Amino acid sequence: MLRSITKMVGYRTFFLEPYASSYQVINNYTSTKGNIQNLPSLPVPKLEDTLTKYLKTVRPHLNDEEYAVTTSIVKDFISDKGVGRKLQSLLEKRAEKHLNWLEDWWLNTAYLEYRDPVVVYSSPGLVFPFRQFKNQKEQLRYAAKTLLAAVDYKDLIDSEKIPVEMMGKSPLDMQQYKKIFGTCRIPWEKRDKLSYNNEKHVTVFHNNHIFHVDLWGQDNVILSEDQIVSQLEKVIKQSSKPTSQGIGILTSDNRDNWAAAYRLLREDKTNKESLEDIEKSIAVLCLDSPVGLWKCPDDNARRNVAGAQTIHGGGAAANGGNRWFDKTIQFIVGADGVTGLTYEHSPAEGQPIAVMTDFIINYIERGKENSKTSANPKPPVLLKFNVTSKVDEMIKTARTNLDKLVGNLELNCFQYDKYGKNFIKSQKLSPDSYLQMAMQLAFYRLHNTPGAHYESAATRMYVGGRTETIRSCSIESIDFAKTMLNTKSSPKEKVAALQKAIKAHKDYTVQALQGLGVDRHLLGLKLTAIENGIPLPKLYSDPGFTRSAHMRISTSQVACKCDGFMCYGPLVADGYATCYNPRDDDVNIATAAFEQHRDTSAAQYRAALEASLRDMHDVLLLTTHSKL
Ligand code: COA
């Protein structure tokens, strides 16, 4: 995945800290301890550079008068007496003391302090290629293969055999891989925690019942595929009817609600043990009820159903309670062939998850048999919970809240199959920038106004790096959209505007990848002010800031080779989400909008996106042909 930035360079060994062998809950996990890969530190950009860039990105969102005000606010901010200088100097001091000045701040502000549910608002779903299971045995066999593939992958991570990914000549930080398995988010008032573990069991959900399933026998030998199938059959036998008491649904609620329920649950010894058992497991496996996948009229409908299952489980009456949304990885294997995973975003970006997905799909398709067989597997254990009437009420609230969330999310996931990266490259254009400009055009086509636009760029060339925002909405992208939609523009003018917009996007991307974007630096200055009791500068309440940071289009490239796709909800109430997997000859695209907002519709956005991709393709071909 993200193959272009992450060319594999063979099995170069890297040395990371071994997993802690015992259970630990860590609040501010700093992965940079020791900087084992010897990567550079995240730079603090120069104040003038960021604010020059900032002024360019706010321009499309302001009229002339407003822009003049914003410009003067910026001038004050960076003047010799301005607070910007003071904040910059404090931030630079912080950077001297941290290998990555942003890492802890980012983990806390972007994830652990965020109080909305992780479902829809934070945790993406990843849909694997569809399967058609003829019977339960096939479902369980697929689930067993998935678990064995995951354990194989975990083994590669543990033995430090995952190839170091590269961006050009720069190696990327590989620490996120270490956090995929065994990790669990713990709900806590104000700020959640993360728990990192290394144990040998998985948590299996069926009909909202929760089981501890050991993947190794008493002889410490890993179970064979047949043995895992047999364990899963035992799970199914013991959970033939859904339990109304399913507490998994609590993990879908607002974090404060869930933290309160968690605190109550933990007062009981049995509950505490069961909760810790889930938190410590390698991953969750959700054996889901059927959702009518193969009754769907077409591929688009199937993608929407599968996307919904991986994002939220379809609500309380479907598979929404058959989940533990705090767990970093929850594999989903549905009775009628929905397969994929839900991942809790705080420990890692989509990239390692998509790389793991390709590994799992290859493993399963290769049909590799595990040659080992344990002499004495341990039977699955049903995890027990004592639910008080107070917690029962909380479960009911969580069910209602999840159903509201489910009803509010409109998904439109599809495969754009007219062309993919190959065509775009043949036009000597960057595929990612091209697709981003298609989204800009689609938004402008629908709303006739600039759409502030977030794209994630990986900053993993730095130790502990996560992402920087690429502000895809630019003066050039709006000029391009207007030119494309103007019936009087010639094809030549349209292509010139497209090339200019792509170039502007690519230039910003290159800077963002080096940690030189606008958003993280401005966040750093803001948090510096907060930490030092300095009143927030005017810059942060100015329309230039608020409008350009109100990301109506929230996007991410998550590329995998298999025919899978990632999906998630919009960032803002009147926004769209667009996650895309550009492949050689097609692009898997997952769009989303909130039903409650009358200005947005994922169906219309998808149609506008397809029209944009068609028009861009046609105009490029037209000018190429006319040159011949
Ligand atoms: N002409 C021909 N080919 C070109 C080209 C041009 N003008 N510009 C780029 N290409 C090629 C590249 O060489 C690359 O080739 P490859 O497929 O052989 O490797 C390919 O097109 C793709 O490059 P491009 O589309 O420009 O960008 P990218 O794939 O590097 O992606 C980002 C850009 C920003 C998405 C990526 O760098 C990144 O940061 N990804 C991480 C995003 C993330 O964190 N997502 C998860 C969030 S949860």
Angle (nearest 5°) at CA 188 between 187 and 193: 75
Residue 296 CA, distance from chain mean position:
26
Pocket lining: 412 vs ligand 1, CB cutoff 6 Å: no
Q: At what angle do helices 431-447 and 491-513 cross, to 10 degrees?
A: 120
> Whole-angstrom Cα distance, residue 481 to residue 504?
14
344 close to ligand 1 (CB < 6 Angstrom): no
For residues 405-416, give the mean pLDDT: 98
Helix (H, G, I), strand (E, B) or coil at 183: strand
In this predicted model, what pLDDT tens digit does every residue of 306-341 receive, in sequence order?
A: 999 999 999 999 999 999 999 999 999 999 999 999
How many A from CA of 600 to the centre of ligand 1? Answer: 29
Of 3, 167, 349, 425, best ligand 1 pocket probe by most atoms within 8 Å of the beta carbon: 425
What average pLDDT score do residues 545-571 get? 97
Bridge pairing between strands 201-206 and 209-214: antiparallel
Q: Do domains 42-97+417-557+598-627 and 124-163+173-408 have the same CATH topology?
A: yes
Asked whether 354 lines ligand 1 (CB < 6 A), one says no
Nearest protein Cα to ligand 1, atom 20: 4
* pLDDT level of residue 13 (50, 70, 90 thresholds): very low
pTM summary value: 0.94
Please indicate whether residue 593, judged by its CB atom, sits closer than 6 Å to ligand 1: no
Cα-to-centroid distance, 557 and ligand 1 (Å): 9
- C-alpha–C-alpha distance, residues 144 and 331, integer Å: 11
pLDDT in the model for residue 368 = 72
pLDDT, residue 16, reads 32
Q: Is the CB of 432 under 6 A from ligand 1?
A: yes
CA distances from 148 to 95, 153, 369, 370, 398 (A): 42, 9, 9, 8, 33
Q: Is a pLDDT exceeding 90 seen at residue 299?
A: yes
pLDDT value for 34: 63
The answer to whether the CB of 582 falls within 8 A of the CB of 435 is: yes
pLDDT tens digits, 236-290: 999 999 887 789 999 999 999 999 999 999 999 999 999 999 999 999 999 999 9
For ligand 1, say whether the CB of 50 is within 6 Å of any of its atoms: no
Closest CA to 314 of 220, 229, 200, 399: 399
Of the candidates 542, 516, 521, the residue with the CA atom closest to the CA atom of residue 84: 521
Number of alpha carbons in the 13 Å side-chain half-sphere of residue 346: 34
Find out if CATH 3.10.450.50 is the number for domain 42-97+417-557+598-627: no
Ligand 1 centroid – CA 167 distance (Å)? 10
Strand partners, 340: 127, 332
Q: Is 345 a catalytic residue?
A: yes
Q: 429: Cβ below 6 Å to ligand 1?
A: yes
Task: State in Å: Cα 420 to ligand 1 middle.
Answer: 13
- For the segment 38-64, the average pLDDT, to the nearest whole number, is 98
Counting atoms of ligand 1 from 1, which one is nearest the CA of 509? 34
CA distance 120 to 116: 9
Cβ of 502 below 6 Å from ligand 1:
no
pLDDT for 95 equals 98
Q: Give residue limits of the domains in the chain.
A: 42-97+417-557+598-627, 124-163+173-408
In contact, 157 and 19? CB cutoff 8 Å: no
- Dist. CA 20–CA 16, nearest whole Å: 12
Atom of ligand 1 nearest to the CA of 457: 39
Distance from residue 4's CA to the centre of ligand 1 (Å)? 5
Select which of 201, 206, 209, 345 is catalytic: 345
Tens of pLDDT, residues 467-515? 999 999 999 999 999 999 999 999 999 999 999 999 999 999 999 999 9
Q: Tell me the residue type at 156.
A: L
Q: Give the gyration radius of the chain's Cα atoms.
A: 25
Q: What is the pLDDT of residue 438?
A: 99
Q: Is the pLDDT of residue 18 over 50?
A: no
Residue 625 — very low, low, confident or very high, per pLDDT cuts 50/70/90? low
Q: What percentage of the chain reaches a pLDDT higher than 90? A: 91
Q: How far from 379 is each of 22, 174, 190, 329, CA to CA, in Å?
A: 23, 35, 39, 23
Q: Is the shortest distance between the CB of 182 and ligand 1 below 6 Å?
A: no
Contacts of 65 (CB under 8 A, 6+ apart): none
The end-to-end CA distance of the chain, in Å, is 36
Residue 3 CA to ligand 1 centre (angstroms): 8
The answer as to CATH 3.30.559.70 being correct for domain 124-163+173-408 is: yes
Ligand 1, atom nearest to 428 Cα: 1
* Mean pLDDT score, 113-118: 97
Nearest CA to ligand 1 atom 32: 457
**Is 3 near ligand 1, meaning CB less than 6 Å away?**
yes
Query: Which residue blocks in 314-412 are alpha helix, DSSP H?
Result: 350-366, 389-408
Backbone φ and ψ for 119, nearest 5 degrees, come out as: -65, 135
Averaged pLDDT of the chain: 93
| The pair of three-digit structure tokens given for residue 408, joined into one six-digit string | 């509010």
